[in-house]
Structure formats: structure tokens, C-alpha cells
Amino acid sequence: MKNTNKIVYWIFTGLLSALILTSATRYFLDIETFRGHFVSFGYNGRIVIPLAIAKILGVAIILSNKIQFLKEWAYAGFLFNFLLALEAHIATKDNLYFGPVIALVLLAGSYTFYRRAYMGKKDLS
């Protein structure tokens, strides 16, 4: 069962990482467009580059499996990022909320199966 949990963890984590890295790459490739999006959401446009860097570092931390407390913080950071993205898309009624919803599902799957496979915990308590 432990091997199954590891396989499912790596599937969720691989998909999550690909989604986040694609997002960060798009931020770098089209900075001005994304600054405009962030401003329309009510956020400061200068956050685009630091957020892209934070996403890349967060993925590196999650994939490394080295420093557990940083990994927990990376998961928490992504949770807040995805929740704020979902709220922003809902508030602006642009109907692009499916991306953050998919990201939240992948994040929940990655975190749940990480705890099952590597920490031996069946639930989130």
C-alpha cells in the first residue's frame, strides 16, 4: 500500500508542479499582461516577478523532500496563492476560476498522499 501511496503522490505532485511552473514561466514571458491582470484583481502589479520566483522555489522545495518544515510552508503558500486566485477570478466574474480549482485539487492530492506515503499518516490530523 505504501508504494501505491508514493505513486499517487508523485502523479499529483508532478501535475501540480507542471501547472505551477507553467504559470511562473508565463509570468516571466508576458510580464506586462500579467501586471494588468493583477491590477484588475486589485493586487499590486509589482508582485508578478516575486510571485513567479516564489512559485519556482516552492516547487523545488516540494520536489526535494529534504527539509520537512519548509515543505509544509510551501504547501501552505500554494494554498493561499490558489485561494486568492480563485477569489480574484470569482470577484471579477471572468469565468477563469477553473485553473485555481484544478490547482487546489492537485495540491490537496499531493499533500494528502505525501502524508500517507512519507509520514505514515492516514488523515490530516
The pLDDT value recorded for residue 123 is: 63
**Per-residue pLDDT, 50:** 96
DSSP 89-102: HHHHT-S-THHHHH
DSSP type of residue 123: S
* Grid cell at residue 31: 510580464
The span from the CA of 120 to the CA of 113, in Å, is: 10
Mean pLDDT score of the chain, rounded to an integer?
92
pTM of the model: 0.89
- Tens of pLDDT, residue by residue over 53-103, are 999 999 999 999 889 999 999 999 999 999 999 998 898 888 888 999 999
* 8 A C-beta contact, residue 30 and residue 6: no
Distance CA 80, CA 102 (A): 14
Phi, psi of 122 (to 5 degrees): -85, -30
**pLDDT for 122 beyond 70:** no
pLDDT at 74: 97
**Residue 125, pLDDT score:** 55
